[in-house]
Amino acid sequence: MVEETDVIVVGAGLSGLVAATEIADAGKRVMVVDQEGEQSLGGQAFWSFGGLFLVDSPEQRRLGIKDSYELAMQDWLGTAGFDRDEDFWPRQWAEAYVAFAAGEKRGWLRAMGHRFFPVVGWAERGGYDAMGHGNSVPRFHVTWGTGPGIVEPFERRAREAMKTGRLIFRFRHRVDALSVTNGTVDGVSGVVLAPDDAERGKSSSRNVVGDFALKAQAVIVASGGIGGNHELVRQNWPKRLGEPPKFMISGVPEHVDGRMIGITEKTGARLINRDRMWHYVEGIQNWNPIWPRHGIRILPGPSSM
């Protein structure tokens, strides 16, 4: 028997949690499936420094930082360099997101109990004008509690929605295919992986103990990137940068494998700009690794190594 719900979200990282909690609060029934266990809830955001992009915030104004939607949009366009036909939707998203960051984003987060460190950082720093790459003013608002502090409000909201039955998690459920009916994606199917209590970030078992199929009115894929899959990184390596390195290290756990990107493409999704990868400068092997080939960065200020 195929289980049915209103919306399926593939991935229980921060994007998946945000989507699922907003959907549940709108009165819909949502099911979140993830190949990892509950201990990995929040995905890569948990490991982050917790910096969020805000524009013309009270924190900036308190420090005398002059910012605006117009300046932030100019910085964004200078960095993105939208120059391909396929950049139409990325530009629409950029304009909407910068407006969100200059508007309701801070209040929306604070209403959930989220708080920022009072000093604004200057990440992805550009030159000394607003015409080139990077931020021309500080916009990096660090969360109290860093990555776990970002995840916590959404995890709390998710657990509250679980009590009402509007949100259900299916951990250790690996999606292997999307189903399509009359041109619309309306479900997922895959295998159930054996329970594994490996700590967050550690590689987990891939032993299969069953299968599953789910149907819904809508499916959202929020499954993360490819940074843990070096073979896929090499396949997408920009030709302009020459041959990919023979040895790489990873800033993310092994399960950030990009599988769902390929599965979604096979179902008919159109991938764009796959040669424009963003890799943080995890420049040194971790002396005490959590995941395979674990890389870390050093922040000597003002820029990372």
Quick one: pLDDT at residue 1? Answer: 76
- In this structure, the answer to whether residues 57 and 135 fall within a common structural domain is yes
Residues 73 and 214 in one domain: no
Its domain, for residue 56, covers 51-144
Q: Report the pLDDT value the prediction gives residue 276, as an integer from 0 to 100.
A: 86
Of 198, 218, 238, which one is at a domain's C-terminal end? Answer: 218
For residues 304 and 168, state if they share a domain: no
The DSSP symbol for 42 reads B
Picking from 111, 144, 177, the residue at the C-terminal end of a domain is 144
Q: Is 165 left (phi over 0), alpha (psi -120 to 50) or beta?
A: left
Q: 106-113: long-range contacts (C-beta < 8 A, 24 or more apart)?
A: 106/54, 106/57, 106/58, 109/52, 109/153, 112/153, 112/154, 112/156, 112/157, 113/152, 113/153
Residues 210 and 236 grouped into a single domain: no
From 192, 218, 244, the end of a domain falls on: 218
Provide the pLDDT for residue 123: 82
Q: Where are the beta strands (DSSP E) in 35-183?
A: 51-53, 116-121, 140-143, 167-171, 173-181
Mark whether 250 and 204 lie in a shared domain: no
Q: Are 248 and 294 in contact (CB under 8 A)?
A: no
Per-residue pLDDT in tens (0 to 9) along the chain, 305 residues? 789 999 999 999 999 999 999 999 999 999 999 999 999 999 999 999 899 999 999 999 999 999 999 999 999 998 898 999 999 999 999 999 999 999 999 999 999 999 999 999 988 777 655 556 789 999 999 999 999 999 999 999 999 999 999 999 999 999 999 999 999 999 999 999 999 999 999 999 999 999 999 999 999 999 999 999 999 999 999 988 899 989 999 989 999 999 999 999 999 999 999 888 776 665 789 999 999 999 887 665 555 54
**DSSP 3-state of 15:** helix
Cα separation, 163 vs 16, in Å, equals: 18
8 Å CB contact between 149 and 51: no
Amino acid (one-letter) located at 12: A
The answer for residues whose C-beta is within 8 angstroms of residue 231's C-beta and 6 or more apart is none
At position 112, the amino acid (one-letter code) is: M
Nearest to 20 by CA among 194, 155, 199, 215: 155
Q: What is the Cα–Cα distance from 16 to 26, expressed in whole angstroms? A: 15
Write the single-letter amino acid at 30. Answer: V
CB atoms within 10 A of CB 110: 12
pLDDT at res. 303 = 54
203 shares a domain with 122: no
Question: CATH number, domain at 162?
Answer: 3.50.50.60
Same domain for 202 and 55: no
**Lookup: tokens for 201:** 């970030």
Query: Are both 27 and 174 inside the same structural domain?
Result: yes
Q: Both tokens of residue 268? A: 């008919």
